[in-house]
Amino acid sequence: MKVIIVKDYEEASQKACEIMLEVVKGNPNANLGLATGSTPVRLYELMVKDHKDNGTSYKNIKSFNLDEYFGLDQSHPQSYHYFMCHHLFNHIDIDMNNVHVPKGQGNIDEECDSYNKLLKENPIDIQLLGIGSNGHIGFNEPGTPFDAVTHKVDLKQSTIEDNARLFFDGKIEDVPTQAVSMGIANIMEAKKVLLIACGEGKAKAIKGMVEDPATTELPASALQNHPDTILVIDEAAASLLTK
Ligand code: PGA
């Protein structure tokens, strides 16, 4: 695991953008694994700016998002499909036929099977990740087996609270309690993993993931066994690292 410590969120977003663009420019047919949450918002802004200023094209790029709430329609403003269109897809030249976000409605088991098949057929070149304050990646909550593939998830109370604070105007009752998420095994198959973490609230999870033995109680620690994982973290998220 390579750990890059930068000053703050802006620097982390710029470093992450550099790494993403290296992949996109190096392979115009790359498969990008994308993430939602507050962390990648500035990265997506920088990718949009680069597309506008420098013409970096996404015409033949395919994207595969990590997860989606269960029970929200794609058009719901809090759905991850909507989030991705709003922050990235509407502002670059990606072909929407090449955009994949798990569906959070309909027959969930069928959706999980077809998403797993899709990922098998389209190996991910770079998987972008945030990390939950409890160490989750995607919606793989503590306790998720490392060999899990795309599956239906019951969200932990801490995740529901984090997401209510950030996205649902504080209304906990509006946050779905279930989601569909790529599993840790899917994430481990990505050729490269780029995890961004900023702020004090992430420091404990980052310490556990980097310095403590890998455990399913801290899902991100699975990445200790991934051959090409880069962590871009700010000083606050790095504040509990000792080595
Ligand atoms: P955040 O979420 O980027 O909003 O902090 C990260 C995550 O829960 O994976």
CA of 55 to the centre of ligand 1 (A): 29
Strand pairing of 99-100 and 62-65?
parallel
Percent of the chain with pLDDT over 70: 100
Q: How confident is the model at residue 149 (pLDDT cuts 50, 70, 90)?
A: very high
pLDDT at 165: 87
- Of the residues 50, 125, 141, 234, only one is catalytic, namely 141
Name the 3-class secondary structure at 2: strand
pLDDT tens figures, 5-29: 999 999 999 999 999 999 999 999 9
In whole angstroms, give the CA distance from residue 71 to residue 176.
Answer: 7
Question: Burial of 110 by CB count in 10 Å (0-12 exposed, 13-18 middle, 19+ buried)?
Answer: exposed
pLDDT tens figures, 77-120: 999 999 999 999 999 999 999 999 999 888 888 999 999 999 99
CA of 43 to the centre of ligand 1 (A): 13
Mean pLDDT score of the chain: 96
- Sign of torsion, CA 137 16 31 188? negative
- Of the residues 50, 67, 68, 162, only one is catalytic, namely 67
CA of 203 to the centre of ligand 1 (A): 13
In whole angstroms, give the CA distance from residue 7 to residue 14.
Answer: 11
Residue 100 among the catalytic residues: no
